[in-house]
Amino acid sequence: MLDDETSARLRHPFPTLVNPHAADMQEHTDRVWIDGECAGCVPPDIAERSKKTRAAYVASYFYPMATWERLKPLARMMLFSLHQDDIHERVTPRVVRAVRERTVAVARGKATVHQAGEIHGRPTVRRLKSLAVRLPGWFNEFQSYDKDQRTGMGNLSLINVVRRERSCSLADAREWVFRLHEKDLDEFARLQRNLPDFREGHDAVENHIHHFGFVGSGRRGVDAKISRYDPGTYTDHHRLALAARVPGPGTKG
């Protein structure tokens, strides 16, 4: 969990809500998916640890307004995403790129679904979608920093990258990343206030973009309620990768 000072600096002017189906969806995730459909995919102790990441709650903070029917695939995708994140913690960039291509293909159903191009193609909407991804990313840099240091993966931390590239102190590197977060947050708020006219679809688009903010604010709920980065929840990445037959650094495949 973030300390109070860091949490205060990572401000989000959006409400932190949780889906009312969170508890039931977590039960479904643990019993139907982890203990049921996916039983035997990983060693039993790792499966039990994966329950502690509470993937359904993460999805519930990100999508607090989703119905049960809509939350169900979102929670399953979140479980898949966290599992992939753990499996590929220590793989090479080449493997990461290959996994990304396959993951995107699965997410798109191996085909690009036609969307309302006039709306999603607008530069303002495209930028808002990009910022909606970047904002929780900055938050996660602080959230996972101690875990990365303890597990020998500090080289993946953007804070440490900034520290090396700018030859500065840890405090100065953190301040630099804080400023990146502030810059993106201010841009998001400005664009949200000044949306272009979408004519008869404007109210629906405005509401859709309003929901982008829940992903950023949801990170705060995740940090406060879910112990993904606590030592007792760490996954044995090496054993998990072996179980999934994922090649590590220095191996072929």
Comparing CA positions, the residue from 46, 59, 174, 201 lying closest to residue 118 is: 201
Q: Which residues contact 232 (CB under 8 A, 6 or more apart)?
A: 52
142-194 confidence digits (pLDDT tens): 988 988 888 888 888 999 999 999 999 999 999 999 999 999 999 999 999 99
Spatial separation of the C-alpha atoms in residues 235 and 50, rounded to whole Å: 8
Instruction: Look at the block and give the residue holding tokens 């993946």.
Output: 156
- What tokens were used for 149? 């240091």
Q: What percent of the chain has pLDDT over 70?
A: 87
Residue 114 has pLDDT above 90, yes or no: no
User: Where does the pLDDT of residue 75 fall: very low under 50, low under 70, confident under 90, or very high at 90 and above?
Assistant: very high
DSSP at 37: I
**For the chain, what are the domain ranges?**
16-115+227-253
The mean pLDDT of 56-65, rounded to a whole number, is 94
The per-residue pLDDT for 252 is 45
Residue 27 and residue 229 in contact, taking contact as beta carbons nearer than 8 Å: no
1-56 confidence digits (pLDDT tens): 788 888 888 887 888 899 999 999 999 999 999 999 999 888 888 888 889 889 99
The per-residue pLDDT for 18 is 94
Please name the amino acid found at residue 94: R
